Amino acid sequence: MRMKLWWLLYLLAAPAFAAPQLDQLTLPKGFHVAVYSDQVPKAREITLGAKGTVFVGSGDAGKVYALTDSKHDGVADKVRVVASGLESPIGVAFKNGDLYVSAVSRIVVLRDIENHLDDPPKPELITDKLPTEMHHGTKFIAFGPDGKLYVPIGAPCNICDPGPDHGKLTRMNADGSGMEDVAHGIRNTVGFDWQPGTRKLWFTDNGRDMMGDDMPSDELNRITRIGEHFGFPYCQQGDTLDPEFGKGKSCKDYTPPVLKLGAHVASLGMRFYEGKQFPASYKGAIIVAEHGSWNRTKKSGYRVMTVRLQGSKVLSYEPLITGFEQDERAWGRPVDVQPLPDGSLLVSDDLAGAVYRVTYKP
């Protein structure tokens, strides 16, 4: 009953659909934002095809979208649905011409997709061995530099001891075989990427709810070894024992976050920026989409942030885009970020049903 009440509160607090309001957005000097497409309802994770197709997972009736900028003018002039009827296919990943899609308990693949955008193939099952719970059951997915597909399995609760089958990050071969655990103690990661040069995996993690407005913080984490434990549900934000599950535990036994991102900001997609269009200070930085709070007295998040690094050390944590909410009313909720080959940056927004393109020109 308690979990059902928590979920009902979440649904009631979720804002209704809104249209893009770019005039409300604020970016650093020299940066500009435009609509890449406003025809992607509940747009979630973004991945890029080898031929320039932008694929977007969604929470819209089980659909996956393909966006094409055939005029090369920074606007998607064609929007296609390449899959439908899947269960919450928010996650998309591209490898060797094939599009992999997460569907809660399943991973499916659309073979040779960019050559069949107008007549997409039937999804082929990769695995159906993932948990079926919907609570934190949707999955951001990505291929790592080792060629394996990384798949998170969130905790099926706000706060609970998830046991060995949940609250972790896993990886598998592209054919679904060889599934193994990578890290534990992760409540729900909806964004991760590998740092160029070091090839270390960094990820965002959402902190638990119902500990007040300012506790605990969301986390930016870095994996240094297989099997590492990041504290959930025993230790929150790296330094605070959980009031329900922390008894007898010590935060020193778990890996703390590299950076606290703020309470309830709902940090989701993140990517390292390696392009040349933005100023040099953005090279190697992490860009993070913060979806925004739903259970805080005063809203937090609803923005896109830049985390500048020196190796594994955080130098700064600053806004790139703000203005998705004003006066406690939100019209947009950033979900994912994806740099393009020309150095611009795409941002998905599941509330406005849009994908934006951020450019820089002094």
Question: How far, in Å, CA of 22 to CA of 106, rounded?
Answer: 36
pLDDT level of residue 295 (50, 70, 90 thresholds): confident
Q: Which of the pair, 4 or 220, is modelled with greater confidence? A: 220
Residue 87 forms part of a structural domain: no
Residue type, 164: P
Residue 7 has a pLDDT of 45
For residue 182, report the phi and psi dihedrals to the nearest 5 degrees: -105, -45
- Percent of the chain residues topping a pLDDT of 90: 94
The whole-model pTM stands at 0.95
What residue numbers bound the domain in which 280 lies? 264-362
Residues 6+ apart with CB under 8 A from 205: 186, 187, 188, 189, 218, 219, 221, 230, 232, 257, 267
Alpha carbon distance 145, 190 (integer Å): 19
pLDDT tens digits along 1-30: 444 554 444 444 555 567 899 999 999 999
Indicate whether 327 belongs to any domain: yes
Q: Average pLDDT, whole number, for the chain?
A: 95
Is position 28 within any domain? no
Q: Which percentage of the chain shows pLDDT scores above 70?
A: 95
Residue 338 lies in a domain: yes
Question: Mean pLDDT across the stretch 141-163?
Answer: 98
Q: What is the pLDDT, as a whole number, of residue 61?
A: 87
> Residue 128: which residues within 8 A CB-CB, separation 6 or more?
105, 106
Query: What is the domain count for the chain?
Result: 1
Reported as a single tens digit per residue, the pLDDT across 221-275 is 999 999 999 999 999 999 999 999 999 999 999 999 999 999 999 999 999 999 9
Backbone angles phi, psi at 105, to 5 degrees: -85, -5
Whether residue 120 lies inside any domain: the answer is no
108-143 pLDDT, tens digit per residue, is 999 999 999 999 999 999 999 999 999 999 999 999
Reported confidence tier of residue 362, pLDDT bands at 50, 70, 90: confident
**314 is a domain residue:** yes
54 phi/psi in degrees, rounded to 5: -100, 115
Q: Report the pLDDT value the prediction gives residue 15, as an integer from 0 to 100.
A: 55
User: Does the residue 355 lie in any domain?
Assistant: yes
Beta-carbon count within 10 A of 106 CB: 20
Which whole number is the average pLDDT over 314-332? 97
Is 323 inside a domain boundary? Answer: yes
**What local confidence, expressed as pLDDT, does residue 257 receive?**
98
Mean pLDDT of the region 92-98: 98
Q: Residue 3: what pLDDT?
A: 47
- Other residues' Cβ atoms within 10 Å of the Cβ of residue 52: 14
Mean pLDDT lowest among 15-19, 60-64, 87-91: 15-19
Classify the phi-psi angles of 84: left when phi > 0, otherwise alpha if psi is within -120 to 50, otherwise beta: beta
pLDDT number for residue 13:
52
Look at residue 2 in the predicted model and tell me its pLDDT. Answer: 47
CA distance linking residue 350 with residue 229, whole number of Å: 31
